[in-house]
Amino acid sequence: MPDGPRGFIFTPDGFILTNSHVVHGGERISVLTPDSGDFNAQLIGEDPDTDLALLRIDAPVLRNVKLGDSRKIRVGQLVVAIGNPYGFQYTVTAGVVSAVNRPLPPDESGSSYVSFIQTDAAVNPGNSGGPLFNLDGQVIGINSQIYSRTGGYMGMSFAIPIDVALNVKDQLQKNGKVARSRIGVAVQDMSQPLSQSFGMNTPHGALVSAVEPQSPGERAGLKPGDIITSVNGRNIDHSSDLPVVISQLTPGTEARLGIWHDKKATEVMVKTILLEDTPAQAAKAAGADGGGKLGLAVRPLKPDEQQELHTRGRLVVEDVTGPALAAGLQAGDVILGVNGSGVSTVADLKREVARAGHSVAVLIQREDAQIYIPVDLG
């Protein structure tokens, strides 16, 4: 594809990495090298979830790029992108790393398994699959996407980190497909009000809002209100970091989770399981609510209402005022817990709110989702 997107040869025996969307559905894949000619490529495998594909060509003499370590990337460092934008072959653009571990919404990235490298190196249609180099000439990423309202470059480009690409490559090369892990928890980002509620000095980590029954997370003792701060020593700064890190583990292996539980740091071991195409829905936990300082009017749920709402929560919000209204709670929310403690009666709720101090983290079920909402009590 002399005028099309690019990939790069990373081994002397002809293995090539590129984007899945570059080759997906192609009946014949042709690779043109600058010094060795035109070759038919074999598609070893592709992974649409990370937009990566592994190819191989059979050629006598090939030069390959050197690979770097994307975990060493720092914001502000200089980078270089190479591609064929609009058919201009071997175009080089330069910029800096604008952000690392940048999650994109699923409707933009198509995946929750990649935290991207964001750069301001000019990337346009035709750059897809091309390498992103550091100044040592090592590939640290694969240019994949741009943010644009016009179809062209607008100052933000996104590359798949090379460590993610190599994990996918290893699995495609060995099995022809990618198997991912999960531990059966739903998480959300931390905020300053939430960190205060859970006794943390600074907001970081992935706040567990739900744990599936009989899941690895439940067997490890994880509960809503626990905050996962690391996996096998790798920091979890945001909730989006957790599925990326967990998914790269081999299903069935044990992982060491650093967690913040009951206002102190500890560790638990969890055994991962295979991430199915349609994973089980996150579990619902027990809950409650009570008015008072929160500004909530609640009532107990009847058994038939619990069944209709698919919840094990016991209290439903009927009216919202004051701090709860300002925080975003709504009538119809089912209260599941406060600051990591489950509540099943109004008395439970009032007790936990009274213990909380100036802020509380209220775990609610809204439709089929569970989420913590921080409430500033003043």
- Could you list the active site residues? 21, 51, 128
Element (H, E) at 98: strand 91-102
Whether 54 contacts 46, CB under 8 Å: yes
- Round to the nearest angstrom and report the end-to-end CA distance of the chain: 63
Judging by DSSP bridges, how do beta strands 264-271 and 254-261 pair with one another? antiparallel
What is the C-alpha to C-alpha distance for residues 249 and 185, in angstroms, rounded to an integer? 16
224: nearest Cα among 256, 251, 178, 261: 261
- The tokens of 28 are what? 């014949």
The torsion angles phi and psi of 154, rounded to 5 degrees, stand at: -130, 20
Query: Can you list the positions of beta strands (E) in 147-203?
Result: 157-161, 181-182, 185-189
Class of residue 175 by CB neighbours under 10 A (exposed 0-12, middle 13-18, buried 19+): exposed
What is the C-alpha to C-alpha distance for residues 361 and 206, in angstroms, rounded to an integer? 14
The H helix count followed by the E strand count for the chain is 9, 27
Output the CA torsion sign for 269, 273, 277, 283.
negative
What is the C-alpha to C-alpha distance for residues 98 and 75, in angstroms, rounded to an integer? 6
The torsion angles phi and psi of 55, rounded to 5 degrees, stand at: -120, 165
What is the C-alpha to C-alpha distance for residues 208 and 120, in angstroms, rounded to an integer? 34
320: nearest Cα among 367, 269, 375: 375
- The tokens of 62 are what? 């090939």
DSSP-based helix, strand, coil % in the chain, nearest 5:
20, 35, 45
Residue at token pair 């055994």: 271
- The tokens of 289 are what? 């609510």
- The tokens of 198 are what? 């859970």
